[in-house]
Amino acid sequence: MDVAVRELSYAQAIQEAMAIAMEQDERVFLMGEDIGVYGGAFQVTGDLVERFGSERVMDTPISELGGAGVAVGAALTGLRPIFEFQFSDFATLAMEQIVNQAAKMRFMLGGEVSVPVVMRFPAGSGTGAAAQHSQSLEAWLGHVPGLKVIQPATPHDVKGMLLAAVADPDPVMIFEHKLLYKMKGPVPEGHYTVPIGKADVRRQGRDLTIVATSIMVHKALEAAAALQAEGIDIEVIDLRTVRPMDKQTIIDSVKKTSRLLCVYEAVKTLGIGAEVSAAVAESDAFDYLDAPIVRLGGAEIPIPYNPELEKATVPQVPDIVAAARDLAKGKR
């Protein structure tokens, strides 16, 4: 039977995934600040409280540490909570529960328990929300064994990866770039999953590999289209999962193109691009490189409020075009 495919926004795809999960499994419930009647800070939960009731779409007090603790505890009892942070920045208030509890419980108790909690993090800049509401902290959590960290870039993937996350026995952290919420794309009806830990080659190319995450995937594709007119053929890999990282797809691509550019919004130093670069440097793909690996990340400053300064702190399409052009032409 053919599955209908519609155009949904990224936010609608998330809402649909949560509704399907709640319909199929009564253990699934939602937690977060203002996710009930208000529908969520970014209107992602929408009318789910009307459909499923306040016992399964729970407004929490303004205490990220407390909310995360309840979510972890609920997961330990066999429930499957989906906990929304209003902004990913607020994870800093709940690191005890995320890093010391959720990530470690299964290991410290000899595999006798699992922590099937999903935590959602609206992330990234571009909304004029300033330094405490605009960060990209996925590399922080990607550093922690026991956590799975994902960054879906399309409506199709965010629905499928969220459904995969709900079914996963381990804690899954999902970073959703705020500028993607209104982006539309094809999304199949019904239940489907997109595997956690598998990158996607969004564009085939022969001259240079760009590995990008989240919204930078779309900027990289735009840059690749612009450079095609100059005769530079770029392969674009959507990493999708920060941990566990699909290093083999990257290695295979670099063997083909012999050049690598890593593009991500978070601060360049110790960011995801460093791990991608190391994975290639430590593999046999290193011998295929015709130029040094290049990282294009965010500036080494907190995100400014001023819109022009904010834009200047993270890679934009012209920055990616310039870096890729120089790398492809041997100027790097």
Express as a percent the part of the chain with pLDDT over 70.
99
Residue pair 34/61 in contact (Cβ under 8 Å)? The answer is no
Specify the CATH number for the domain of residue 313: 3.40.50.920
Q: What is the pLDDT of residue 295?
A: 98
Express as a percent the part of the chain with pLDDT over 90.
97
Task: Flag whether 98 is in a domain.
Answer: yes
Confidence of residue 1 (pLDDT cuts 50, 70, 90): low
Asked if 259 and 320 sit in the same domain, the reply is yes
Asked if 142 and 256 sit in the same domain, the reply is no
Q: What is the pLDDT of residue 4?
A: 85
Asked if 210 and 183 sit in the same domain, the reply is no
Q: Which residues are catalytic?
A: 64, 133
User: Could you list the residue range(s) of the whole structural domain that residue 64 is in?
Assistant: 9-188
Segment 320-330 mean pLDDT: 95
pLDDT value at 71 more than 70: yes
Cα–Cα nearest to 72, from 27, 18, 117, 120:
117
Q: Which residue has the tokens 């999960």?
A: 21
Q: What is the pLDDT of residue 5?
A: 82
Number of domains present in the structure of the chain: 2
d(CA 67, CA 90): 11
- 77-101 per-position pLDDT tens digit: 999 999 999 999 999 999 999 999 9
Asked if 173 and 248 sit in the same domain, the reply is no
Task: Flag whether 195 is in a domain.
Answer: no
Cα–Cα nearest to 144, from 175, 105, 107, 99:
99
DSSP strands (E only) in 53-188? 57-59, 80-84, 118-123, 148-150, 172-177, 184-188
Asked if 34 and 174 sit in the same domain, the reply is yes
Asked if 47 and 142 sit in the same domain, the reply is yes
pLDDT value at 167 more than 80: yes
Asked if 232 and 173 sit in the same domain, the reply is no
Query: What's the distance, Cα to Cα, between the start and end of the chain in Å?
Result: 51
d(CA 1, CA 208): 40
Asked if 25 and 112 sit in the same domain, the reply is yes
